[in-house]
Structures are given as structure tokens and as C-alpha cells.
Amino acid sequence: MPTRVCCCCSALRPRYKRLVDNIFPEDPKDGLVKADMEKLTFYAVSAPEKLDRIGSYLAERLSRDVVRHRSGYVLIAMEALDQLLMACHSQSIKPFVESFLHMVAKLLESGEPKLQVLGTNSFVKFANIEEDTPSYHRRYDFFVSRFSAMCHSCHSDPEIRTEIRIAGIRGIQGVVRKTVNDELRATIWEPQHMDKIVPSLLFNMQKIEEVDSRIGPPSSPSATDKEENPAVLAENCFRELLGRATFGNMNNAVRPVFAHLDHHKLWDPNEFAVHCFKIIMYSIQAQYSHHVIQEILGHLDARKKDAPRVRAGIIQVLLEAVAIAAKGSIGPTVLEVFNTLLKHLRLSVEFEADDLQGGSVGSANLNTSSKDNDEKIVQNAIIQTIGFFGSNLPDYQRSEIMMFIMGKVPVFGTSAHTLDISQLGDLGTRRIQIMLLRSLLMVTSGYKAKTIVTALPGSFLDPLLSPSLMEDYELRQLVLEVMHNLMDRHDNRAKLRGIRIIPDVADLKIKREKICRQDTSFMKKNGQQLYRHIYLGCKEEDNVQKNYELLYTSLALITIELANEEVVIDLIRLAIALQDSAIINEDNLPMFHRCGIMALVAAYLNFVSQMIAVPAFCQHVSKVIEIRTMEAPYFLPEHIFRDKCMLPKSLEKHEKDLYFLTNKIAESLGGSGYSVERLSVPYVPQVTDEDRLSRRKSIVDTVSIQVDILSNNVPSDDVVSNTEEITFEALKKAIDTSGMEEQEKEKRRLVIEKFQKAPFEEIAAQCESKANLLHDRLAQILELTIRPPPSPSGTLTITSGHAQYQSVPVYEMKFPDLCVY
């Protein structure tokens, strides 16, 4: 019961107090006296200068009632305050608001859940009121702390606990709305406030039984869910908070998320972490997405020594963030993302190598195996993130990323890569090569360049085709797949999948365009490099079926995308050279690999013969394949690559009908207008600097053998003898030959390189000019009379002075003292 005063004393009391006292009934169950409340409201509106006194008196009564546990009168007082607050919007409302907030604070401090909910409801109503002028001295620190504490309520009664948590979330939502609309809204974004608000919301969001795993932006919760479910209400409040964040305070809102996930160990498993960052990425403004990505990268750096599954959880969160950010503004973090991910990829490989080296027997081996598997999870997550991010970039940025990743791959002769592999060893280096190539494969997927020069510039192609990346069958597979991604500009690769004899290539409906000038120039410059890679790749002892399939696809894609008549001839020369290498077997390959090469050649020649549509060529290829089907099925891909295929003991006893013959191919192509002179020149792969220094078997030995054989087969110079005058200088040169040997080796290397790389027409023209120059110089020096040969045998009769030399073939003439430049 309120304190009653006598009539005389009541008449002497101020009017505002009498009006306030009248709104309280004798029995609080009767509720607010509405008639007297209308009088009080009219008085407050008519005399706004009295609002502060009305508020102070109401606060005084409410404080007394709270202490005396008169909940009924507390409810009436708060109802009166709410009505006055809604009715008055004048300048004088500022002091009244202070009294109002003081009363709300009293209710929140009380230990009764009912009063706490009552105070929260009143604060939420106040937060929805738009004030005419800002308040420069009002702060909400207490309310942030109190509402955050209510969000973590641990009341024994579940219903009351839920009610208090809902009230705390709604209170935080009211603080956010009030401060954001206020001129002093920056105060709410201070770290000391965000460190309380964000974890409180996340704590309640964790109570969602089924985490939303939708890829698109989650739908807004319904009004009923907002009122009844703390998790849904907290999520809605979290979205609203992030949606109001600006450039300057974005980081303050995101960093507490990391602290909460770390403290509660929510990175493994990371479903809730992924859910949180999906909300963040879809709630913030698109132009601020790169801020969140930077924060994730920074946190990944800070947790680089944590357990592998924790790091994998962070990387998967980064993947989800990148997937959303890639659709909008990514900002300046593109290279930073890739650089950080590649750095952690190296760290993961290093940790894996350390575990393998430090593993011991017994139970430690089990732990090491488990750690290795966990590190593979990290590596796969990094590769997936790199690939997804790269595939969503525009082409101009993707080409830069391709170069960036390729620059990180450790290959011979490249010191520009910044990945430190000094501690990895051979196994770790191979592992990092595989990981980087897998990343590159993901980035190049779907990349379409107008010209092949754009997709495969020299600075990218040289390290990609380096012999350093041919040490392992898996490395070779990845290199070929990267090349396929960049070469296949018309999506033909799926039609070529699997090595086989295609009965009718026209059924595949291959898409192709006329070869442009840039592509022709590319093949003139880099064709030999591509052929060499395919040739050496076929002769590796650790090849498996997939390697042969990818090599076949490489030949087919070059034919479709880059082949003119000259390239077709080169590819046929390459195929014949592969067939010869399988027959001669200088590399001592197992029989399966020799038959695999034969099957590859058969499949490709069948494909290219139908692509260029030369009937005689198609007929020859079909005939050989038909004979192989009956007599040597292990030379065909359909048989050799199936399980339990019978292999021959040797290939030397086979008839020529089982092989593709150069003379018949030249005859068939020559009849259709092809320039077939080059078919008679055996293909020899070009020599690189890395071949000379590589530990692998080099083709230099093969080239040297061929040169020696050619030199031995040259007819001896018996007819024209030459005697050199023996002098002191000649003897000195003969004794000191070390310098001469080096010069001879260098000349020999230059000649071999020239004949491998220069176009055939250029070599022929140069040889012709040298022959003419030799003829002229010879006539001048010896004063010869050259008589034309009587027969087309190609011989010359030379007369000089009194002596007449015997007629000899032109190619057998040697003049050691004559130097022609």
C-alpha cells in the first residue's frame, strides 16, 4: 500500500506529485488508474519543464517499491513512465530520460527475473523512440554489461533461463539501435563493448540444433521465431549489428568472433564457425568483404602452430568467406590471400616431413600416421581454397595468379621462387611441387584465353615443362592436366577422355577454329619444347595408364587447337620416333611400357589421320590397326590397358606390317599436297641446360651416339689425300689440346642445338648458300676448271696446273684447310 497523507498535507504538496500519487490505486491488482494517468500526461505535455521533476519523483517511488518487493506498484510505475515517454518529445525530455534510465537500471540490478524482463521491455521501447537532438553525455556502458550478463543466464528453471536470455538479447539489440541512430554511435563500436556484445550473441547462437549449411544467404527468421527462440533472435541481432558496421569499425566487430571460437574450441569441428562467417559475409556491405578475409588470414598466421585440424577448420572458413567475397568486391587482398595460403602449404609439408623423420616404432608410429593424415586435410583445404578463389577471379587476375603460383614451384634454374624449401629435403620438395601443381590445376580450370600465347607465355611454359617436374609420374600427370586446361579452348577434352581407337572421329563433333597467326607463331617458337616433353614423358619407367591417356590427350589437343600442316608433320614424326624408341628400346623399358607406347602411337595416328582426312593415310593406319587386332592385340590400347593382358617376350620378331611405316605415310601425305621432306628426318628431342646437369638420364647421350654413328658412316676420304706440314706450332697445338677440346664441344653443342630448333627451310637455305660459297672460294684459291659431270652421278672432275684429280662425288670432297664462314 502506498503511503497516504492527510488532506491538509496533500493540498500543500506540488501538483505533479499529487498527479503522480493519484495514478497508483490502493490495490495494485487494479492496475494503473487511467483517468488520473490522462491528467498526468496532459500536465506533462502542457508543462514540459516539469518532466524532469515527474521523472525524479517516479524514480524515487519505484526505487522504494523495488526495495520493499512491491512488484505490483513497480509495474504501474514503469507503465506510467512508458506512456509519458511515448507522449513527450520536447527538448525537456532529456532530464526525464536520465530518470527513466536510472529506473531501468534499478530493475536490471534486481535479482527477480520478472523485474529484469520488465526493465528490458521498457528500454526496448525507449530505444525505438527517435530523439530530436543528440545526447552528448549519455552512455550505455552499464546496459551493455548487464544485457550481456543476462544473455549468459544460468537460472535453474529452463523457461525462466530462456526468458532472461531473450530479454538480454533484445536489450543488446535496443542498445545497438539506439547508439547507431545517435550522433555518438561510435562509442558502441569500441572494443570493450564489442568484446561483450558479440560473444553474448554467439553463445546463444550455438544453441541451434541444426546448423544452417546453405550456400546462399540464409533467409530471415520469422517473427514468431524471433520472440520464442534465443538462437534465432541472437542471429538476427548479430546480422543487424554487422549490417550497421562501417569501414572504421568493421574489425572491432569481427575480432571477438575469433576469440569466442578459440575459447570454446569451435574450429574442430567447424560447422558453427562456418555458419558464423557466412552470416558475417552476407550481412556486411560488399565493399568491406576484404577486411574479413584479411582478419581470417591474420588469425591463420597467429594459429600456425596449432593442431592440423584447427588450421584446417580456419582454412575452410576462409574458403566459405572467399566463395562469397569472390562474387562481389575482393579488394587488394588477392595476392595476399594466395601468398599466405602458399606459405601455410609449405609449413604443412614441413610439419609432415618433420613428423616422418621424427617417427619411431610402436605407438608413436600411430600418432605420426594420424598427424600425417591431418596435415593432408590441411593441404587439401588450402588447395581447394586456392582453386575456388582463383576460378572466381577475372581472367586478367587469374593469369597473374597462375604466374604467381608457378613462380613458387621449385624447379631447376629458377631462383625467383620465395618458398623456402631448404629444410624439406627431396621428399618434402616433391610434396610441395605436387601441392603447388594441384593448386595451379584448380586455378586454371575453366580458363579460356583467346590465344595460346596469353595462356602459355614463355615465362610460364619453361618452368612448367622443366625436367625437374618429370621426376615422378604424379608430377607429370599434373603438368599435363594443367596444359590441357590452358590448351582446351573449345571444351573438347571430355570427348577425348580415355585412350582408345576411335572408329569415326566425326561422331565426337570436335569443335575447332582456324589457327590464328599468334598460335602459329607460338608453335614455331615453342613447338619443339612441347614435343620434347611428350617424347620424354612417354619413355618414363614409372608411367601408369593415366600417364598414357594424358599424353594421348595432349597430342590430340595440339592437333585440334594448334596444328597447321607443318605441325601435323612434326606430330607424325614424333609419333614415328616414339614407335622406333619402343622397338629399339635403348632405355630398357619393361614390355608393358613398350606396348603402351605402341598403343599410344596407334591411337594418335588413327585420330590425326581422320582429322586431316587424307584417304591414303587413313587406309594405311586402318590396315595396321586391323593386322594388330588379329596378330598383336597388345599393341592396341583396348587390350594393353586392361587387366591380365598377355605380353610378348620381344618385339624384334614382329613383321613390318604391324608398324606404321614412314615411307608409306610420306607417300600418302605427299599425294595430298603435304610437304613431306621432313618426314625423312628422324625426330630428335632438343637438349636443354637442365638435361646436362640433371641427375636423370639425359637425351644428350642419345644425341652424342647419333652424331658418332653419323660420323662413322661418312665415307673415308681415300681419294683426295691431304698432308699437313709438321711445324713446331702444329706440334704445340697437338700437345696442348685442352682448350681446343672445349671449343670443339661448344661448337658441337651449337650445331646440334641449331639443327634441333631452327626450321627446316632455314637450315636448307643456309646449307645451299654455304655450298655455293664453297664452290666460289674453291675456284678462286685453286684456280680450278670445273667440268660438268658427264652423267647425273653428281661427280666433279678437277684440273689444276699439270695434275688432274679423279672424279669424286661432291659429298665426299673434303678440304681441311678451307674455312667457310
Segment 6-27 shows an average pLDDT of 71
Segment 218-247 shows an average pLDDT of 77
Q: Does residue 705 have a pLDDT over 70?
A: no
* Range with the poorest average pLDDT among 146-150, 177-181, 325-329: 325-329
Residue 684 resides in a domain: yes
The secondary structure element, H or E, covering residue 785 is strand 785-787
pLDDT tens for 77-126 read: 888 877 887 777 655 566 677 777 888 888 888 878 888 998 898 888 88
Mean residue pLDDT across the chain:
79
Segment 441-470 shows an average pLDDT of 89
Q: Does residue 773 have a pLDDT over 80?
A: no
* 3-class DSSP assignment, residue 809: strand
pLDDT on residue 470: 87
Residue 678 resides in a domain: yes
* Range with the poorest average pLDDT among 129-138, 258-267, 432-441, 719-728: 719-728
Burial of 718 (0-12, 13-18, 19+ CB in 10 A): exposed
Q: Does residue 620 have a pLDDT over 50?
A: yes
Q: Does residue 172 have a pLDDT over 80?
A: yes
d(CA 585, CA 579): 10
pLDDT on residue 721: 36
Segment 738-765 shows an average pLDDT of 68
Total tally of structural domains belonging to the chain: 1
Task: Please indicate whether residue 573 or residue 396 has the higher confidence score (pLDDT).
Answer: 573
Give how far the C-alpha of residue 368 lies from the chain's centroid of Cα atoms, to the nearest Å.
Answer: 28
Q: How would residue 198 be classed by pLDDT, with cut points 50, 70 and 90? A: very high
Residue 496 resides in a domain: yes
pLDDT on residue 257: 96
Segment 138-156 shows an average pLDDT of 89
Q: Does residue 628 have a pLDDT over 50?
A: yes
From residue 809, how far is each of 211, 369, 645, 720, 793 by CA, in Å?
90, 73, 53, 11, 8
Q: Does residue 307 have a pLDDT over 80?
A: yes
The beta-carbon contacts of 800-806 under 8 Å, at least 24 apart in sequence, are: 805/719, 805/720, 806/719
Task: Please indicate whether residue 489 or residue 706 has the higher confidence score (pLDDT).
Answer: 489
Task: Please indicate whether residue 548 or residue 710 has the higher confidence score (pLDDT).
Answer: 548
pLDDT on residue 44: 79
pLDDT on residue 140: 83
Q: Is 588 left (phi over 0), alpha (psi -120 to 50) or beta?
A: left
pLDDT tens for 493-543 read: 999 988 999 999 999 999 988 889 999 999 999 999 999 999 999 999 999
Domain span including residue 538: 448-694
pLDDT on residue 194: 93
Q: Does residue 674 have a pLDDT over 80?
A: yes
Segment 339-358 shows an average pLDDT of 82
Residue 179 resides in a domain: no
Residue 214 resides in a domain: no
Q: What single-letter DSSP state applies at residue 174? A: H
The secondary structure of 674-687 as a DSSP string is ---GGGGS---PPP
Residue 390 resides in a domain: no
Q: According to the per-residue pLDDT averaged within each range, which of 51-65, 465-479, 777-791 is highest?
A: 465-479
**For residues 113 and 166, is the Cβ–Cβ distance under 8 A?**
no
Task: Please indicate whether residue 746 or residue 261 has the higher confidence score (pLDDT).
Answer: 261
pLDDT on residue 763: 74
pLDDT on residue 518: 92
Q: Does residue 9 have a pLDDT over 50?
A: no
pLDDT on residue 796: 42
Q: Does residue 313 have a pLDDT over 60?
A: yes
**For residues 372 and 355, is the Cβ–Cβ distance under 8 A?**
yes
Residue 421 resides in a domain: no
Q: Does residue 717 have a pLDDT over 90?
A: no
pLDDT on residue 448: 86
Percent of the chain with pLDDT over 90: 36
pLDDT tens for 580-618 read: 999 998 889 999 999 999 999 999 999 999 999 999 999
Model pTM above 0.75: no
pLDDT on residue 597: 95
pLDDT tens for 561-573 read: 999 999 999 999 9
**For residues 155 and 164, is the Cβ–Cβ distance under 8 A?**
yes
Q: Does residue 209 have a pLDDT over 60?
A: no
pLDDT on residue 133: 60
Residue 355 resides in a domain: no
d(CA 720, CA 86): 123
